[in-house]
Amino acid sequence: MLVPISMFRLVASLAVVAPLTALAASAHKGDPAAGKIMYTDCAGCHAFNTNKVGPKHCGVVGRKAASVSDFADYSEALSQSGLVWDEKTLSKYLENPMAFLPDTTMEYGGVPDEESRLDLIAYMRQMSADPKVCPKK
C-alpha cells in the first residue's frame, strides 16, 4: 500500500513542476499573448502575410533586414544596414527605430519597455511558425 501512494506523490509533484518550468521559461523569453496586444501598435502599418505601409512580418525573426522581395519601399538605410533580425537587433531597432537607424522610413516612436519588446518578438516568432498565418512556400 505504501508504494502506490509514494508513486502517486511523485507523479503529482512532477505534474506541478512541469507547467511551472514552462511558465518561467516563457516569462524570460517574452510572452506572445502580451505581444499580441502590443502588436495593435504595429498593425496600422504591418501585417504578417501582406505588405502594407511596412513590409510583411512572416518569418521576420531570423532573416536579413529588408529582405521581403515584393516590398518595394525599403529605405536605403535599412537595405544597406547589413542587419540580421534576431532578438538583439530587433529589440534595439524597436526600442527607437529612428535613433538606431536614423534614415529608416519606419516613422514610429518605438517601444521603450524591454519586456514588451521581447513579448512582441515572441509573438512575431509564434505567428511566423503558424502555417495558417504564414504558409510555408
List contacts with ligand HEC (CB under 6 A).
Answer: 41-42, 44-46, 53-55, 60, 65-66, 68, 74-75, 77-78, 85, 90, 94, 104-108, 111, 120
* Least gap, CB of 36 to ligand HEC (angstroms): 12
Compare residues 26 and 98 and give the one whose CB is closer to ligand HEC.
98
Grid coordinates belonging to 46: 504591418
Give just the sign of the alpha carbon dihedral 126, 91, 99, 68. negative
- Rounded Cα distance, 22 and 107, in Å: 36
- Which set of grid coordinates corresponds to residue 125? 516568432
CB of residue 130 to ligand HEC, shortest distance in Å: 17
Please check whether residue 136 is in contact with residue 58, taking contact to mean a CB–CB distance below 8 angstroms.
no
Instruction: State the minimum distance, in angstroms, from the CB of residue 115 to ligand HEC.
Output: 13
Q: Which is nearer to ligand HEC, 22 or 99 (CB)?
A: 99
> From the CB of residue 119, how many other CB atoms can be counted at a distance below 10 Å?
24
